[in-house]
């Protein structure tokens, strides 16, 4: 089995800017003035990932150069929304769109305090995602997994992709595991169980408790 880069999974994400955060409201205004955004109502808009990348490099190149020079240890004062969106634009290589909502909560802060330190927390929700099974499983494992996914209705034979709500995928995979639990002495079923468990783990790590539409992509030989 291969390794999964969770940053390659999201294709559409949803995040929030805050009206009383100076940098975020400035970026909100700049985006609306400079980009071809789609109005969503309720103070929300959608922009493409390619627009986001251009926007960051055009307006905030000096700030990005500064935080890049820190490596992985960025000081809290420089861990702004500029830094967050730069990470999104550069690391989420399959991202297609970003939904941004403006919130007017005056009491909001991104600073999280514990007993020893203060940290900055940026949240986003994944609205749509993709999972390329060939990034995780090698042949013949992938072909065995394809057969399992076909048998439970998550793939159609010969069609190398399908899209379902994540909760439905979890449900069908867990039902499969429950159905073969009493047949674990069968070597082939044991392998299928291991592959399905690995797929469940990959989805769980990538999407946590969210329920986006998930595009499964595979290969057939």
Strand partners, 118: 113
pLDDT of residue 18 exceeding 60, the answer is: yes
Tell me whether residue 164 is exposed, middle or buried, using C-beta atoms within 10 angstroms of its C-beta: 0 to 12, 13 to 18, 19 or more.
Answer: middle
- Each residue of 40-79: pLDDT tens digit? 887 999 999 999 999 999 999 988 887 766 555 555 566 6
Compute the Cα dihedral for 97, 64, 206, 150 and give only its sign: positive
- Single out the residue of 36, 33, 23, 39 nearest to residue 101, CA to CA: 39
Higher pLDDT, 130 or 191: 130
Exposure string for 138-149, b = 16+ CB within 10 A, e = fewer: eeebbebbbebb
User: Which residue carries 């072909």 as its tokens?
Assistant: 143
Q: Note the pLDDT of residue 111.
A: 67
Strand partners, 12: 97, 128
Structure tokens at 76: 């809290």
Report whether 27 contacts 18 (CB < 8 A): no
Q: Note the pLDDT of residue 12.
A: 96
pLDDT mean across residues, the chain? 86
| Dist CA 35 CA 58 (whole Å) | 12
| Dist CA 167 CA 129 (whole Å) | 13
Q: Tell me the domain boundaries of the chain.
A: 6-122, 130-217
Nearest-10 Cα torsion for 161, 162, 163, 167: -120
| Dist CA 206 CA 202 (whole Å) | 6
């Amino acid at each position: 089995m291969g390794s999964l880069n969770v940053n390659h999974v999201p294709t559409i994400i949803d995040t929030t800017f805050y009206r009383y955060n100076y940098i975020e409201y400035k970026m909100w205004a700049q985006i609306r003035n400079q980009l071809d955004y789609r109005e969503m109502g309720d103070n929300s808009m959608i922009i493409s990932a390619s627009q986001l990348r251009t926007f960051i490099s055009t307006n905030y190149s000096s700030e990005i150069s500064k935080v890049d020079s820190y490596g992985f240890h960025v000081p809290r004062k420089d861990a702004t929304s500029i830094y967050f969106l730069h990470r999104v634009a550069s690391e989420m290589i399959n991202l297609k769109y970003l939904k941004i909502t403006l919130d007017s909560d005056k009491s909001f802060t991104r600073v999280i305090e514990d007993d020893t330190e203060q940290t900055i927390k940026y949240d986003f929700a994944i609205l749509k995602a993709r999972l390329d099974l060939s990034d995780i499983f090698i042949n013949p494992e992938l072909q065995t997994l394809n057969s399992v996914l076909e048998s439970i209705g998550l793939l159609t034979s010969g069609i190398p992709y399908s899209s379902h709500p994540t909760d439905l995928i979890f449900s069908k995979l867990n039902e499969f595991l429950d159905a073969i639990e009493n047949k674990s002495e069968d070597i082939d079923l044991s392998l299928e169980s291991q592959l399905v468990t690995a797929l469940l783990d990959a989805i769980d790590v990538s999407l946590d408790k969210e329920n986006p539409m998930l595009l499964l992509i595979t290969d057939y030989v």
